[in-house]
Structure 1
Amino acid sequence: MEFCPGDSGGRAVAEGSIARTLRVLEAVCDHGPETLKALSERTELAPPTLLRILRLMADEGYVVQQADRTWRGTMLVWRLGCAVNTSVGLLAISREHTDRLTAELDETSVYAVYEQGAVTYAAHSEPIKPVRAHVRLGQRYRLLAVTTGQAVLAQLDEPSVEQALAEQAASGDPRDPEQVETMLAEIRRRGYAAGPGVRWPELWGCAAPVFDATGDVVGALGVSIPTARAEEISDQVTAGVLQEAEAMSTRLGRPAVVREV
């Protein structure tokens, strides 16, 4: 059977191919370098199909196979990501606020963009000292996995929370729904998320949501510090994060928030 250009069947096949290709590219960039077997498990694609897609992307310069047979994204992907980050218009603004937080606290600060059910680290500032937290720009995390994601999730609707719980369970690290709802209610009440890291227990983090002119949450500003220093400066960190998150939200068009003392 042949498909003509207007054939819905042919369009469906093409759309499926594009979706698979994008899924593979995301897996390589988020988790690479990884072997064909590992990527096959992540993407749920058969190795022959996956290898064909990888080779096509390699021909276009988006991925490369290394000497150890693992696959990773190329600098072309990084360049495109940087271009998107700049076009969003938040990069320069968010960097001003992370710079101020780091200058005030002498600790690592980060801005995480919320998009498509996850947060991605888009800007960060680090102090010049030997012992400090380090974040990887461009890294994408599930909302329940990091403090910035929890600060965002507390502002979302119930279906978004259910989706976050399902994704967390699928990752092999399920959370109790009642405990999560209690945590999110507390974040909403205080205006920030704080606590030891889920992924990195040796780090303590604090993050507050950032809103745009429509009142929608668009990301979160946060600070990460070694847990050993948390008790000493946690109050100062919390105050600084709240102040900068609200200042950034105001710059994006949201009216300033007046908190009760």
Structure 2
Amino acid sequence: MRHNAEVSPTVVGRVLDVLDAFSAEHPVLTLSDLSRRAGLPLSTTHRLVGELAERGALERDSDGRYRVGLWLWEVASLAPHGAGLRASAMPFLEDLYEATHQHVQLAVLDVAEVVYVERISGRGAIKIQSRVGGRLPVHATGVGLVLLAFAPEDWQERALAVPLKRYSPKTISSPSELRRVLADVRRDGYVVSDGQIEPEALSVAAPVYGEQDSVVAAISIVVPAEGTDPRTLVPAVRAAARGISRALGAPRAGRVSGDARWETH
């Protein structure tokens, strides 16, 4: 469970444990599954699930299994990184998608993980693990490296203090290497992440700035590594990031619009 490794002592904690039992691999669960995965007695789970279903937070199918309900989606869309950010970014993401018809992604930071809030993919796009609403570690993704590079120092140190999971031979796996890459991102204003999770995939990512000129999100384009020169994608990714930043009211976006400093690398 992401929220707590032990059974939560409060009612709110137990409700969160029930909701946290769902995942991309387990989107539909029986009452027994929920009880086991949440670490709660079956009677307690039955009561909580009944109340959640009554409010629309969970939905029960004809087989008696449960899935996340639309009410939770409505609430989640009110998050600061939700509908407003996606609406501002979508026109630029669509333009960027037309460049390759592969994957274009928008993500935000949650301490040591990135959360994907939007993705556009073509039918023949390369297979990748990310999905809308999904999470991946910051050290192994292009958007994660960008977001961590511009994150507060204490967030960076927290990410550097935990073991860096290796997904492929190319995954960044040492704190010293990660520090070097983060410094490069701050200097260059973009990153190329080559085969860190899927060895055959390559991404180019750039930061998106908000009203306070702080980085609030990152965008990336993910393409097959073979036969791709990532340098040809950098200008398009940075231009899209600059456009979203301008739409969000970032002062630097208006100040340096068209300026070569945005394309220095």
TM-score normalised according to structure 1 size: 0.74
Matched letter for residue 63 of structure 1? L
Judged with a 3 Å threshold, the aligned counterparts in structure 2 of structure 1 residues 73 and 250 are, in CA distance, closer, same or farther, namely same
The equivalent of 2:234 in structure 1 is 238
Judged with a 3 Å threshold, the aligned counterparts in structure 2 of structure 1 residues 228 and 46 are, in CA distance, closer, same or farther, namely same
Greater helix share, 1 or 2?
Answer: 1
Aligned length: 243
- Alpha-carbon distance, 1:226 to partner: 1.6
Counterparts of 2:49 and 2:166, CA distance in 1: 27
Counterparts of 2:246 and 2:79, CA distance in 1: 23
- Cα pair 2:208 2:218 within 8 Å, conserved: yes
Counterparts of 2:88 and 2:191, CA distance in 1: 22
The equivalent of 1:213 in structure 2 is 211
**How large is the RMSD of aligned CA atoms in angstroms?**
3.6
- Alpha-carbon distance, 1:156 to partner: 1.3
- Alpha-carbon distance, 1:162 to partner: 2.5
Match of 2:192 among 167, 191, 194: 194
- Alpha-carbon distance, 1:74 to partner: 2.8
- Alpha-carbon distance, 1:219 to partner: 0.7
- Alpha-carbon distance, 1:107 to partner: 2.8
Superposed counterparts of 1:148-163, under 5 Å: 148-163=143-158
Unpaired runs of at least 5, structure 2: 1-7
Percent of matched pairs sharing the same residue:
26
Unpaired runs of at least 5, structure 1: 1-13
Match of 2:11 among 7, 10, 17: 17
The equivalent of 1:75 in structure 2 is 70
Match of 2:106 among 108, 111, 129: 111
Counterparts of 2:238 and 2:203, CA distance in 1: 13
Counterparts of 2:194 and 2:34, CA distance in 1: 31
Match of 1:224 among 222, 226, 231: 222
Matched letter for residue 73 of structure 1? V
CA displacement 1:4-54 (0-9 Å, x = unmatched): xxxxxxxxxx993213322432442565337688877876x3454556544
- Cα pair 2:92 2:240 within 8 Å, conserved: yes
State the SS of the aligned residue for 1:144. helix
The equivalent of 2:246 in structure 1 is 250
